[in-house]
Amino acid sequence: MSLIWATRGRNWGFRFLRDGGFQDPLPEYDSVFSGVEDEPEAWRRVAEKVALRFPDPLGRKDAAGRVIPHEFVAFGPLAEGVDTVADGLRLIWPLVAEEFARVWERPRPPSSGG
């Protein structure tokens, strides 16, 4: 899937849960999130890629009480039609919502993939 997804769980720190097929997704992530580092919600298109950030739609928080952010880099056909944060919630969040529900309370992060 053409998606990089980074988030954190209740007890584990910021991780890439989807790598978009990149051995190291960090350079792709950095290239589209440059300039939106501290915004709680963000949308940005860079060429055919979309950077998307929003707080957990269910208001889940980590063990320290911080709302969990979800950050995505979508590219290819998946990025089409994602022109706002609201579009991302509607089109991208459903792709990972069940997966996150299964892993966010684990004591350790799952490995990235996909």
Question: What is the number of structural domains in the chain?
Answer: 1
Domain range enclosing 55: 3-102
Asked whether residue 109 is assigned to any structural domain, the reply reads no
Asked whether residue 108 is assigned to any structural domain, the reply reads no
Q: Which of 70, 64, 84 is nearest to 6 (CA)?
A: 70
Q: Element (H or E) spanning 101, and its range?
A: helix 93-103
Banded model confidence at residue 74, pLDDT cuts 50, 70, 90: very high
Cβ(41)–Cβ(24) below 8 Å: no
Banded model confidence at residue 62, pLDDT cuts 50, 70, 90: very high
Asked whether residue 112 is assigned to any structural domain, the reply reads no
Is residue 43 scored above 80 in pLDDT? yes
Asked whether residue 18 is assigned to any structural domain, the reply reads yes
Is residue 112 scored above 70 in pLDDT? no
Asked whether residue 52 is assigned to any structural domain, the reply reads yes
Asked whether residue 110 is assigned to any structural domain, the reply reads no
Asked whether residue 113 is assigned to any structural domain, the reply reads no
Asked whether residue 111 is assigned to any structural domain, the reply reads no
Provide mean pLDDT across the span 42-49: 93
Is residue 114 scored above 80 in pLDDT? no
Cβ(41)–Cβ(56) below 8 Å: no
Supply the pTM of this predicted model. Answer: 0.92
Least confident range of 1-5, 34-38, 65-69: 34-38
